[in-house]
Structure 1
Amino acid sequence: MATPVEPPNGIRTEGKHYYSMWQTLFEIDSKYVPIKPIGRGAYGIVCSSVNREINEKVAIKKIQNAFENRVDALRTLRELKLLRHLHHENVIALKDIMMPVHRNSFKDVYLVYELMDTDLHQIIKSSQALSMITASISSFSCSGA
């Protein structure tokens, strides 16, 4: 579950609030209310949330230390560039990118996606029969970490 916590430096930033999930600090925009963590992987931690401005469930992916590794930074940039332009029912939608408060301390990237029922890993592990068409569509419609 998402647990509200104090900011790491003790100073609250306007428009942000702080939660802990899986021993990880999430500094997210106040319009999002985290519900629970839903996935963890090589590229980040994903939690389900609600955008209270429009009462819509979303998934927030936190990519920690996004610029520490050049290859990972380029992968994140590629994901952003592609998803900003792709709008299709079988491709997960990028809803928002949370902007950092201070440019000089910017190290984590927060991406907001539509919330999906499952991810590609779960589909592959399931006993559900996949056709080539189903497999290719599923690979574009999942928001794994």
Structure 2
Amino acid sequence: MLDVRTALSVGEIAQRSGVTVATLHFYESKGLIQAYRSAGNQRRYSRNTLRRVAIIKIAKRAGIPLADIKRAFDALPANRALTAEDWSNLSTAWRDLLTTRIDSLSQLRDQLDSCIGCGCLSMGECPLRNPDDTLAGQGAGAVLLEG
């Protein structure tokens, strides 16, 4: 339960976390953070919200989608501060995703000079987007492998 003596307003959370009030409302609408209503029907947040917002900012900077952040938060207790162990579990779960992304970007960097930049990316020579010209059967033009 929220301790009304230590609850923070949306403006206080925004100022202390470095995000806008609109961003906090958006995070709340996505279920990433939770506000309570005061007797005057104003949003109030527990101090634990500051740590959740900090984790959201870190995860977003690492390219973790908000849906993945929400899934991770859903596995944690909502009414207590996140612990170092919680952070360890979150970072471990995201490590594989980040490693895959880093490997993909490294491959792109290393092979980018061989790309002629034509835009069609359906040439048999393009190891970045169309290995072995697998998209040729779908017709000419830019056809992406990712769906």
Q: Same fold (TM over 0.5)?
A: no
After TM superposition, the score normalised by the length of structure 2 is 0.25
TM-score by length of 1: 0.25
Q: Which has the higher contact order (CA 8 A, sep 6+)?
A: 1
Larger Rg over CA atoms = 2
Would you tell me which structure has more helix in proportion to its own residues? Answer: 2
| Structure richer in strand, relative to its length | 1
